[in-house]
Amino acid sequence: MSFAKSFLCISQVQKFSQGLFRSSAPLRHLPLCLPPQETLLRNIKPYRQFSTSQVCCEEEEVAAEDGDGKPIDPAKDRRNPHPVETSIRYLASEAYQKCYGSEPVWKPYRRNHKGMFAPRKTRRTCIRNGIVTASNPCPICRDEYLIVHPYNVNLLKQFISPFNGENLSYEKTGVCQKQHRALLVAITQAKNKGLITFDIPFREYDYADYMPKNTT
């Protein structure tokens, strides 16, 4: 093989190696102008294009955490909650009737979970740093006009059983743990203020304490 032909083939191999490292071309397309024993690896200049996709993803995550990234959706912003008076008027409005009708706010809600059976406990919270982070928030967190407050009686009554007066469990309502604790506190405060009527539990006595004791 002449020197000119050998030099030409080596240059072709170098050009192909550069394209090989840039793309995912199969090795079967290597030029066959040189025999395998004459294709020297030291003549191939490796070229690799570094990817910055992971760095970009990390920067986006940091920006989202710092609040300097994408603009926040107003429907998910809970940093400035509405006053309880607005929530009380909302429950008596026509918009609420069109949205929920005569059913409780938790009635049409369905939890998203893996498998056939839902986990026993709901998520800890749907709102972090004043922003709704859950893709399927609970019935209280999904509506910005539902404010848990002792004076919002019409909302609190929806989480009390009409049969025995007990507080409904989060397994039935699907509210997150944070809102469930807030509901328990608000219901207790409303009962103490006399805003919600409830039956006094029946007290059982041990009549043996009132029976005369036999001293003989």
210-215: long-range contacts, CB 8 A cutoff, minimum separation 24: none
Contacting residues for 194 by C-beta, under 8 A, at least 6 apart: none
Give dist(CA 195, CA 133) in Å, integer. Answer: 33
Q: How far is CA 98 from the centre of its chain?
A: 27
Name the residue ranges covered by the structural domains of the chain: 3-43, 73-192
Q: Where are the beta strands (DSSP E) in 100-208?
A: 127-128, 131-132
Q: Positive or negative CA dihedral for 66, 111, 180, 81?
A: positive
Res 201: pLDDT: 82
Contacting residues for 111 by C-beta, under 8 A, at least 6 apart: 118, 122, 136, 174
Return the H-helix or E-strand segment holding 185: helix 177-192
DSSP state of 160: B
| pLDDT tens-place string over residues 162-174 | 999 999 999 999 9
Segments in 44-127 forming alpha helices (H): 53-66, 84-91, 94-100
Res 77: pLDDT: 93
Res 44: pLDDT: 53
User: Phi/psi of residue 132, each to 5°?
Assistant: -75, 115
Res 45: pLDDT: 54
Res 47: pLDDT: 52
Q: Is 67 in contact with 42 (CB distance < 8 Å)? A: no
Name residues of the chain where pLDDT drops below 70: 1-69, 215-216
Which of 181, 205, 167 lies closest to 124 in space, CA to CA? 181
